[in-house]
Structure formats: C-alpha cells, structure tokens
Chain A
C-alpha cells in the first residue's frame, strides 16, 4: 500500500503544512510518496526527500505549475494516481489543498474526506462538522481515499532524516484555461499564523486599523507572535483577509492565543479553541470568549494591552 501526499511549497522549500499532512499519512500506514508539482521546484523536491518517513518524491517541473491552478494540479494528480495504485491521496486542508482536491475526487468518482483531525483506521477518519461543535467518525467505501488534513491536528514530520529517491514525472497537459493575473500577498516578518507559537488576535473591540496596529503590534513584537483577527475586524478593514481566524478563516492551535476585544462567536472559536492556552481580554464579563479562556481579564483593552506589552 502506498500513499501519495501532494506537497504545498513555494518551489524553493516546502510549506510546513506538508509536514503535517505527511504525519497524517504515516498514521494511516504504508509507503509515503510525495508529489511536488511546480516550476523550477528542485529545491522543494530536495526538501521533500529529506522529510523523515518519505520513501519517494515525484517531481513534475513545468511552467504551467507555477501558479498552482486547480485544473492543472488536479489533472497531474490524476495521472500520478493512475500510474501507481495509491490507496490514499492526501493534501493539507489549506486554501491550496481545498481548491484542487475535490476536483481530484470527482474525477476519480470518489468522495473526499475533508479536514480530518484523526485517523482511526485506513478507511476511517474523524472530522469536525458544524464549525467544530461536532466530531464525526466516517468510513469510506471508495477504492481510493481522497483526504485533506487539518494541519493543527497532526504534528509536523521531521524535516530532516529521510533520504527518499527523487524521480521526475512527466507533466500533464496544460489545461490553459486559467490565468493568474495578480497576487497580493501579505508581507510580514512575523511568524506565519498557522505555524506560530503565540498569536495576538484582535476583534471589533479594537475599534479601527490604527488602534489595531498601535496596540497589538508592539505586544506581538515583544512576544515574537503572529497577528490574527476576527472576521468582524477583517470585514471592517482593520487588517487583510488572511488574518482571519475561524470556521471560514484559518485554523490555529498555538501554545498561547491572546484574544483582544473578541466576543467569542462559535465561528471564531472554531478556529482557535484547540490552542493550548487561551487568554481573553474583554470589557464584557459575560462575553462567551471567557468560557474557553484559561485566563480571562475583564477590562478596557486600551488600558490593559499597553500594560501587558510593558510587562512581558
């Protein structure tokens, strides 16, 4: 039995989410192959070959994989899946994996098991539904299991220690129907939200973008933290969309999550309630966020946050 993990990468290196997906594959059991589709992606392929537990890396290097369009990646995964009888196809449940994997499943005429948080058996997985308020254990009867993995639920595989064979595979035909015309990526020297150990997150209570930057950035700087936000803060334009934590934003599980001026709607909790330690700062003692917070501080964030920044 062999499992194919589709790597997320920037051509030069692997994205951490790939390492979590590899751990999920290891839990299922079987030889782990990694598919790297990219353009000038030898660096990423080399990195994949070094991940502990990986036995083979398949590389498809072609210009039409530069933009990671769903049509092209899905077509390649299908070709690769046909070439060897993979039992499972696995990708991280990032916006990338969520974009192309259901295409793969549909083309294979199989179900997709989205966003798994547990492996019970090779055909049985646990996944959250209803914004994480319910965990469903589902069994797949399909011949090939197409799976996306919630990265916070699986440790990262060791990035070193492996020595997989690297093999070039032919690119699939370019669908040629989808053109990337712009990319606005948020640049930040801070840790990536989904991989950060500490997250400082702001909500509507912060008031506006200026306050957000003036209050939360110094605290995040001192803690070496990533910055996050509620949907309300993103919708109001305090910060870009990729800051959003929650059911429909990013799922995070840092060591420490500091929620500032966030009420704690279920859709927000869905994205952060698996954090190890949660701190809530809110002036409303009845705010639902206090029900999940290990340490709740009732107070005006405009007074409390500068004090906290000074004290840490």
Chain B
C-alpha cells in the first residue's frame, strides 16, 4: 500500500512575520522556512505505518517554488522513500493545490493520502477536504489516532465537543491534528541518506491544471495592537481593578 503525503513549505512557526510597508503582502524574504508542523506529523504517521508493515511506500509531494526541494528532503530524512515537486512560482491557493494533488493521486494510485489539517501560513484548513471531494473519497480530518487494517481506516478525530471515531473504507484522505504523534528528529545519517533518494520535478502544466488564484488579496495589515496593560501588586489589587475599573466581575 502506497501513502502520499503532501508537505508545504511555510515560514517557521517561531517566526513572527511582518507585513510589507506597502501592505501588499507579508515579507518572507530572509526568514526561516520549515515544513508545516502538521505535515511533519503526517510524514511521521506514514513512516510509522510503513515501519509497522501496513504501508509499502511513502511518497512526499510538495507544490511551490524550487525551495520546496528542501522540504521534501526533510520528509525523506524522516523516512519518506521519494519526493515529487510540482514546481511553480505562481501563488497556489488550496483549490489549486487540491487539483494538483488529485492529478498526482491519479498517477501514483496511493490508497491513503495524509495531509496536515492546516497550513500555518494561510490557516486555510481546506486542501485535504477539497482533495477528498475531487477524488470522491471519504475523509477523516483532524486525526489524533489512525488505525489501518485491511481496507479500512479507523480514525479518532478531535472535534469541538471532544473526540469522535470514524470508520472509513480505503482509499481515503486523512488530515492530522497535533496530538497524532510526535515527529522524530532526523538524524545526520538519515539526512545524508535522504540526499540520495529520488526527487522528481514536474510542472502544473504537465497535468493541465489551471492554478490561477480565485481569491485576490487586496491588502494585508497587522491587527490593532492591544494597549499595554499594567502589573498589579497583589490579588486584592487585581480583584479591585476587575470589579471597579474593568467591571467584568
């Protein structure tokens, strides 16, 4: 069984991004880029399924600029067998990514696609669900536990009220939540090995996919900053302020 894992290159989660002074976008020149944290979890899960003998091959794919090769190498250092880069400098929105991924699924024929639930740059939380719809596959999003047995997956999902468990037939799309697993650190030998693993590059046009954005960003801005507050001396002071000044208790 083959597993496809889409990985996105994003601004590292520790970086606080800045808006360009003309408000046209976010300044990501010279900032640290990393694999989207949810996608690391997705790669780890796929690699564990391979180690457990459930999967036979893990293919990492990324769509975007040439720099995504780095992200794919990271996926391969965690244990993915090979990588595919859909290279483009164009802005890619989730629907476009989902269409590219569908084309890759048609070609690669995986039984499971595991994505992150959300990219921490656009915070869209769409691509996995869109891919599932385009493929007409069932989906299990926000997974905190995945068990694959035979041709079925049993997935525990994090929902607003707690947890729910779904059973879905394969092929299926799964998206990861944070508590699914803790990704391993890539060791130096594995990083070296990853450099020798196959990495193919294709273009959106190879699949005839129109990736033109549907949403136009008119402007970006930083949200209003909160007024700096005060430090209170003790609990009595705090309670007095909450009662008399803020009037919230």
Residues on A lying within 8 angstroms of B by beta carbon are 69-71, 74, 94-96, 98-107, 109-115, 124, 128-142, 175, 177-186, 194, 198, 223, 231, 234-235, 240-242, 247-248, 250, 255-256, 266-267, 273, 276-279, 285, 290-299, 304, 307-308, 311-312
Complex Cα–Cα for A150 and B205 (A): 36
Can you give 30 contacting A-B residue pairs, CB < 8 Å? Answer: A95-B159, A106-B129, A111-B93, A111-B94, A111-B95, A113-B215, A114-B126, A129-B123, A132-B223, A136-B217, A142-B214, A177-B138, A178-B138, A181-B167, A182-B163, A183-B163, A235-B179, A241-B158, A248-B118, A248-B177, A256-B248, A277-B248, A285-B231, A291-B228, A292-B229, A295-B229, A295-B238, A296-B231, A308-B238, A312-B249
Query: 1/0 per position for B95-125, CB-CB distance to A under 8 A?
Result: 1001000000000000000000110111111
Residues in chain B near residue A134, CB distance under 8 A: 17, 19, 26, 220-223
CB distance from A135 to the nearest CB of B (A): 5
Residues in chain B near residue A178, CB distance under 8 A: 138-140, 166-168
Residues in chain B near residue A130, CB distance under 8 A: 11, 17, 26, 120-121, 123
Q: Does B132 have its Cβ within 8 Å of any Cβ on chain A? A: yes
Q: Does B52 have its Cβ within 8 Å of any Cβ on chain A? A: no
Complex Cα–Cα for A114 and B165 (A): 25
Kindly identify which residue among A104, A107, A114 contacts B125, using a CB–CB cutoff of 8 Å. Answer: A114
CB distance from A160 to the nearest CB of B (A): 25
Contact B235 A105 (CB under 8 A): no
Residues in chain B near residue A100, CB distance under 8 A: 129
Contact B26 A295 (CB under 8 A): no
B102 closest partner in A (C-beta): A106
Chain A interface helix/strand/loop/mixed:
mixed
The 4 A-B pairs with the shortest beta carbon distances in the complex, nearest first, are A102-B129, A111-B214, A106-B130, A182-B165
Contact B124 A96 (CB under 8 A): no
Most buried by A among B121, B162, B178, B215: B215
Residues in chain A near residue B223, CB distance under 8 A: 128, 132-135
Residues on B lying within 8 angstroms of A by beta carbon are 11, 13, 16-17, 19, 26, 93-95, 98, 117-118, 120-134, 138-142, 144, 154, 156-169, 177-179, 213-223, 226-232, 234-236, 238-239, 241-242, 246, 248-249
Work out how many contacts link A and B, with CB atoms closer than 8 A.
Answer: 250
Residues in chain B near residue A290, CB distance under 8 A: 229, 231
Chain B interface helix/strand/loop/mixed:
mixed
The answer to whether A311 and B235 touch (CB under 8 A), given A95-B159, A256-B249, is: yes
CB distance from A37 to the nearest CB of B (A): 17
Contacts beyond the supplied A111-B215, A179-B167: 19 A-B pairs with Cβ under 8 Å: A95-B160, A99-B141, A99-B142, A102-B125, A103-B132, A111-B214, A130-B11, A130-B120, A132-B223, A135-B221, A136-B219, A138-B216, A142-B214, A186-B161, A241-B158, A250-B160, A294-B230, A311-B239, A312-B239
